[in-house]
Amino acid sequence: MPVFYRLNLVAVALCYALVVLGAFVRLSDAGLGCPDWPGCYGQLAVPQADHAIDRAQAAFPDRPLEAPKAWKEMIHRYLAGLVGLLIAALAVLAWRAPGRPRGIASAIVLVLITQIVFGALTVTMKVNPLIVTTHLLLGLSTLSLLWWMWLGGLSRTVVMATSGLRVLAGFGLAMLVLQIFLGGWTSTNYAALACPDFPTCLGRYTPTTPLSQAFTLWHGADRNYEYGILEVAARATVHLVHRYGAVLLSLILGALALRLLTLGATQWRRLGLALCAALGLQLAIGIGLVELQLPLWLADAHNAGAALLLLTVLAVNHFVWRGGGQGRIAHP
């Protein structure tokens, strides 16, 4: 495997870790652990000395320093910086040699810049749900583009796919992106525990509030959204829609996996098995979250599982849409 794609794979792994760590920061209510950006209470590290802590408290009297939360936020920022350097290096390498994926490398840089802007807005706009959810989607977009670029470097061809399979794979990816948005909206509105029972939600199968109330995207920029602002009933509606989305997505991706498993080529069956495993794991984690009342480790695993499912569906789409004929399958 060329050095470029080895570095690409390292970037994928670190970006995946960054997405999981970002979810951990959010779920542990540490998103405002540092009330400023890019530093923390005006410093590049969490204040530790007594005089530094005193200055921090004086500068931000409404945000008392909580060192554990602040360190979670700063470690996330340090890792983000490392991922950013790797992406910049990949872009430079792509443009210095012919035949490298210059277009997608440049697109990753643009997405990363946008992601940095929304990372700052997450803090300055006090974890506004729309900003935080967009930040999540941009992080997953960065991961997806890095993964897609790495897949493009694999020295293999695939068996031609039918147009029906391509449509199903593309539709599955689109629905997965929508479901990830619903999951992010559930988390950023602190609605994960709004339905403590399963499969019903507060004893019902239908929402008790209009969807417009639960999915009003913008509530203004001048309020603190930490711990959520929606009423309990509206949070339950958000949660219930996310559940129904999971059911619909499971049917679509289940049909896609079944179709892959029935094809003759070994590579399709492997992709089908991988999709079944990723989907089954995510469903089990989602049900466990409700039954176990949202333990932090399992909530973070749910985000990790969503990212893993996204990478799996992207791999399916990559090979389904790339296949233009038959050929030898060679591993990188």
Question: Interior CA angle at 251 toward 152 and 308, to 5°?
Answer: 40
* Residue 85, H or E segment: helix 67-96
Residues 85, 14: Cα–Cα separation, whole Å? 11
Q: Provide the terminal-to-terminal Cα distance of the chain, rounded to the nearest Å.
A: 6
- 73 contacts 25 by C-beta, under 8 angstroms: yes
Q: Name residues whose C-beta falls within 8 Å of residue 180's C-beta, 6 or more positions apart in sequence.
A: 136, 137, 140, 306, 310
Question: Which residues lie across from 43 on neighbouring strands?
Answer: 40
Residues 122, 41: Cα–Cα separation, whole Å? 16
Residues 271, 265: Cα–Cα separation, whole Å? 10
Of the candidates 320, 188, 310, the residue with the CA atom closest to the CA atom of residue 267: 320
Return the residue matching tokens 């807005």.
121
Q: Phi and psi at residue 60, in whole multiples of 5°? A: -130, 70
Residues 41, 48: Cα–Cα separation, whole Å? 11
Question: Which residues lie across from 40 on neighbouring strands?
Answer: 43
The question of whether 73 is a catalytic residue gets the answer: yes
Return the residue matching tokens 């923390």.
40
Q: Phi and psi at residue 40, in whole multiples of 5°? A: -130, 110
From 73, 226, 231, 291, the catalytic residue: 73
Active site residues: 73
